[in-house]
Amino acid sequence: DGGITQSPKYLFRKEGQNVTLSCEQNLNHDAMYWYRQDPGQGLRLIYYSQIVNDFQKGDIAEGYSVSREKKESFPLTVTSAQKNPTAFYLCASSMAGANTEAFFGQGTRLTVV
């Protein structure tokens, strides 16, 4: 089945540690996105990539980093510089056109302990 796979579903991190969230898609989509979801704030864009080896900062990129070495993969690293990393993280992908919808993974819930 085609789709987007995020792993792990739940992740616990100690303060001061970096952690990487995985996102893989087999939909042959060019564009991929990372969003952060907090209660009452909707989805806020962290980073997005429209093509391999290129990515742009979203609205809340500070404390996060990404790479896009393969079309299928767009991992997100939450660094120790992110002051409040506890949140639900969603990865999405879409075809290149503006009129195309995004498809979402099931999310990763990150908790700092």
Partner 1 sequence: AQSVTQLGSHVSVSEGALVLLRCNYSSSVPPYLFWYVQYPNQGLQLLLKYTSAATLVKGINGFEAEFKKSETSFHLTKPSAHMSDAAEYFCAVRYGGATNKLIFGTGTLLAVQP
DSSP 57-113: E-TT-TTEEE--SBTTB--EEE-TT-S---EEEEEEEE-SSTTPPPEE---EEEEE-
The contact pattern for partner 1, residues 35-74, with x = CB under 8 A and - = no contact, is x----xxxxxx--x-x-----x-x----------------
Nearer to partner 1, 86 or 104 (CB): 104
The contact pattern for partner 1, residues 11-40, with x = CB under 8 A and - = no contact, is --------------------x-x-x----x
- Phi and psi for 58 in degrees, rounded to 5? -95, -150
Nearer to partner 1, 45 or 73 (CB): 45
To partner 1, the closest distance from the beta carbon of 65 in angstroms equals 19
> Which amino acid is present at 15?
E
Candidates 2, 16, 98, 113; binder of partner 1 (CB under 8 A) is: 98
